Amino acid sequence: MILHAPASRLQFLDTGELQLESGRVLERVTLAYETYGTLAPDGSNAVLIQHALTANSHVAAHDDADEAGWWGPMVGPGAAIDTDRYFVVCANMLGGCGGTTGPASASPGDGLPYGSRFPGVTLRDGVTLEARLADHLGIAAWHTVIGGSMGGARALEWAIMHPERVERLVVLAAPAYSNADQIAWAHTQLIAIESDPEYCGGDYLALGRSPENGLGLARRIAHLTYRHGSELDTRFGRARQRTSRPGERPEYYQVDSYLDHQARKLVNRFDAGSYAVLTRALRDHDVTRGRGGLQEALGRIQAGVTLIAIDTDRLYPPAQLEEIDRALPSPPGVHTIRSLRGHDGFLMEHDQLAAILAATVFA
Amino acid sequence: MILHAPASRLQFLDTGELQLESGRVLERVTLAYETYGTLAPDGSNAVLIQHALTANSHVAAHDDADEAGWWGPMVGPGAAIDTDRYFVVCANMLGGCGGTTGPASASPGDGLPYGSRFPGVTLRDGVTLEARLADHLGIAAWHTVIGGSMGGARALEWAIMHPERVERLVVLAAPAYSNADQIAWAHTQLIAIESDPEYCGGDYLALGRSPENGLGLARRIAHLTYRHGSELDTRFGRARQRTSRPGERPEYYQVDSYLDHQARKLVNRFDAGSYAVLTRALRDHDVTRGRGGLQEALGRIQAGVTLIAIDTDRLYPPAQLEEIDRALPSPPGVHTIRSLRGHDGFLMEHDQLAAILAATVFA
C-alpha cells in the first residue's frame, strides 16, 4: 500500500533483515526514497532531508509535470536547497506508508498486511535503515542532514548515531526528546485511532475495514497542535459555513469545516496503522535513552549544528530548541522564525528558512 | 440521572415551561441548586457562583460531614466568599446532569430520557432559567455574580441580560465569545463523543449503552487544554508508569496514566449527552449575538467589573480578558493570576483569587 507517493521516481532499496532497537527482527525490509540532482564524484554534496510524521519521500517535484512535493519551494534548481549543487535524498521513514515497509505492507510470511503484527519501531531504527541507503548510494558522509518536526528529531539521531557521517545538522522545530505534553497529545491520538471499532486491533486491512473516523479525529487533534490559536481566529473567527449541503446545521463553523477537510485529506492519503506506529516512534523519541544525560548524548555530535525554532509553535515550543542549544558543547544559538502559522511554519515560511540556511549550512 | 450532586442539600425549583433562544420550548424544566448562608432581610447579600463545564451546584461542603465542593476553599464561613456575610447560590446549568433538566432527564412525554430529543441550549437560556430562581428566592439584584471558564461566560451574560440585577461581576478565565481555536477544540470533543458507536445518536441511555470511550477521549483532549505543557512536563516528564497490571506495556507513561485517570473520573460522574449539550452552549457563547458589536454588548453592563486572567491559560489566554477590558466603557484593567496550572488555575489558585476578591468585590 503506497499512498500518494508518485511512483514514477520512487526508488526502492531491499535492505534485507533489520534488527530493531527492541531486539525484534523485521525480515526483508524495503526502503523507498527519491533523489534529486547529481552526486559529486567525491560524494561530498549529499543532503539528506528527513520528513515529518505524515509526509513521505516526495519532498519536491522532479519536473514541471510532476506532483508538487511537501517542501517544494525549498528544494530544486536554484532553490534554498539547490539541486544544481547538491544531491538531495529523501527516504520514507520505517513504518510509514510511502513505500517503505510498514504495517500496511505485506508480511513475508503470509503475504497479508502486517497490521497488528508490525512491531514498534524507533527513530533510531529509521536511522539504522537509512544508513544502509547511504552505504548503497556511496555516501560516506552527508554534507547536511536536515529535518523539521519528526524529521528534525530523526536528523538529530543521525548526527548522534553516526557523528562521522554528518557534517552539518539542521534541527527545525523539534526537541531532544518528546516531553510529557507531547506524550500526552500522542496518547489522545492513539486512543482516537485504536478505539475506533473499525481499527480491529490494527488488522483492519486484512478484514476489509477502515478506521477513518479514528484517523480523522487524530488528525484534527494533531492539526490543532500544528497551528496557532490566533492564526485560526484571524482566518475563521466565528464565521459559519455557508453551504446548502443537506443535514448541515447552522452551528457548523468554518473552522469545523477546515478541520474536517484536513481530516479527510489525511484519511485519503495515509494509513492508520502507520500513523500509530510513527506517533509512537516520535513519542518515544529521546536522545538520552541509553546514553546518559542530555549533554552526553548531544556531546557525541561532530556536525556543525543549526537550530531553528518557530515563535508561535505550541507543539514544540522554542524552549525545547534552547534546551538543545544549552546542552551542546559549543552552543550555536537558536534562530527564530517569526510566523503566524505555529508549528506548521516549518512547512510554510520558506523565505525565512532559506535565509537561515544560506547563512549557515549552505554559506 | 443526578451524578455526584450530594442529594442531601440539593434543592429543586420547578420552573415550568422554558422558551429557548432557538424558539424551541422545553416543558417542565427543573432547576437544581444549593444555597449557603442566610439571605439578608433586604436581599442585598446574595452572591451567584456560576460553575464550569462539568461542575455542578455543589460549590462547597455544607458541613464537616459533607462532600467537598469544587471551590471548597473559596466558599464558607470566613472564606474569601464568606457565607457568614453572604447568601451564596449555585445552580446547575440547564442541560447539565447535576439535577437540572438535561438530556439524561426523563422527558415529560414518555418518561424516557430525552437523549437526542434534548434541544440545543445557550448560556443565555441558562441565565433565563436562573433569573426565575432569583425571583423565587426574592433576590432583586445580586451583590455579585462570579464564575470561571464557562461560569465566567455565563456570569458575563447575566450582567448583560439583566444589568439592573447584577451589582458586581467577576469574570475569571473566560472570554466574551468562543473564538475559532475554542470552537475547534470543542469540535474535536464533540466528534470523539458522537462517533463512539455506543453514543447511538444520543439515545444510549434508553438503549442501555454507554459511550465511555468517546466521553473519556473528549475529557483527555479538554484536560490538555486545561493544563499547561510545562506543568505536565515538570510533574511527569518521560517517566513510565511502574505497575504490574497485566497487559501494561513499558511505553505506558505516567502522563498517559494521569490522563486516563482524569477520563475515568469524568466518565463515572458525568453524562455524555450533557457534555455535548454544554460543550455546544459554550462553543456558541458570543455576547455580541443580536446585540451589535462588542462595545455595544458590553456597554449594557451596569455592574462593577472585575476581570481575572491566568498567565499560563492556553484555553482562554489573557488576551481574551484584555479584549473584554478594552471594550468596556470604563476599562477596569485585568488582574493576572500567576500559576503553573494553566486554565485550571481558576480552580486551584485560591490565595491569589481571594486576595483579588478581597480588594475588589468584597472590599
Q: What is the pLDDT of residues A186-222, one digit of tens each?
A: 999 999 999 999 999 999 999 999 999 999 999 999 9
Question: Is some CB atom of chain B closer than 8 A to the CB atom of A247?
Answer: no
Determine, for residues B286 and A213 on separate chains, whether the beta-carbon distance falls below 8 Å: no
Q: Which residues of A touch B213 (CB under 8 A)?
A: 191, 195
Task: Work out the minimum CA distance from A16 to partner chain B, whole angstroms.
Answer: 28
Determine, for residues B253 and A180 on separate chains, whether the beta-carbon distance falls below 8 Å: yes
From the candidate CATH numbers 3.40.50.360, 3.40.50.1820, 3.90.1150.10, 3.90.1310.10, the one assigned to the domain spanning A7-180+286-359? 3.40.50.1820
Residue B1 pLDDT greater than 80, yes or no = no
Q: What is the pLDDT of residues B75-92, one digit of tens each?
A: 999 999 999 999 999 999
Residue A297 pLDDT greater than 50, yes or no = yes
Segment A263-280 mean pLDDT? 98
The pLDDT of residue B4 is 46
In Å, the largest CA–CA distance within chain B is 64
Of B272, B118, B280, B20, the closest CA to residue A251 belongs to B280
In angstroms, what CA-CA distances link B263 with B50, B58, B99? 23, 21, 22
Residue A4 pLDDT greater than 90, yes or no = no
Choose the mutation target among B238, B258, B285 for the interface with A, i.e. most A CBs under 10 Å: B238
Question: Is some CB atom of chain A closer than 8 A to the CB atom of B191?
Answer: yes
Q: What percent of chain B has pLDDT over 70?
A: 96
Determine, for residues B256 and A286 on separate chains, whether the beta-carbon distance falls below 8 Å: no
- The residue whose grid cell reads 473499525 is A198
What is the CATH topology of the domain spanning B183-280? Rna Polymerase Sigma Factor; Chain: A (1.10.1740)
Residue B6 pLDDT greater than 60, yes or no = no
Strands in A304-310's sheet, in edge-to-edge order, are A11-19, A25-36, A87-91, A46-50, A144-148, A168-172, A304-310, A334-337
ipTM of the complex model: 0.95
How would residue A251 be classed by pLDDT, with cut points 50, 70 and 90? confident
How would residue B181 be classed by pLDDT, with cut points 50, 70 and 90? very high
Give B201: exposed, middle or buried? Use CB within 10 Å, 0-12, 13-18, 19+. Answer: exposed
Task: Work out the minimum CA distance from A171 to partner chain B, whole angstroms.
Answer: 21
Q: Measure the CA angle with vertex A285, ends A280 and A291; round to 5°.
A: 140
How would residue A266 be classed by pLDDT, with cut points 50, 70 and 90? very high
Residue B244 pLDDT greater than 60, yes or no = no
Look at domain A183-279 and name its CATH class.
mainly alpha
Q: What percent of chain B has pLDDT over 90?
A: 94
Q: Please state, rounded to an integer, the average pLDDT across all residues of chain B.
A: 95
Q: What is the pLDDT of residues B135-168, one digit of tens each?
A: 999 999 999 999 999 999 999 999 999 999 999 9
Q: Do domains B7-179+289-359 and B183-280 have the same CATH topology?
A: no
Q: What percent of chain A has pLDDT over 70?
A: 96
Q: Please state, rounded to an integer, the average pLDDT across all residues of chain A.
A: 95
CATH code for the part of the protein at B7-179+289-359: 3.40.50.1820
Q: What is the pLDDT of residues B193-234, one digit of tens each?
A: 999 999 999 999 999 999 999 999 999 999 999 999 999 999
Residues B48, B158 contacting (CB under 8 angstroms): yes
Q: What percent of chain A has pLDDT over 90?
A: 94
The pLDDT of residue B167 is 98
Phi, psi of A171 (to 5 degrees): -110, 120
Domain borders along chain B are 7-179+289-359, 183-280
Segment A249-255 mean pLDDT? 82
How would residue B241 be classed by pLDDT, with cut points 50, 70 and 90? confident
Q: What is the pLDDT of residues B277-325, one digit of tens each?
A: 999 999 999 999 999 999 999 999 999 999 999 999 999 999 999 999 9
Q: Measure the CA angle with vertex B42, ends B41 and B44; round to 5°.
A: 115
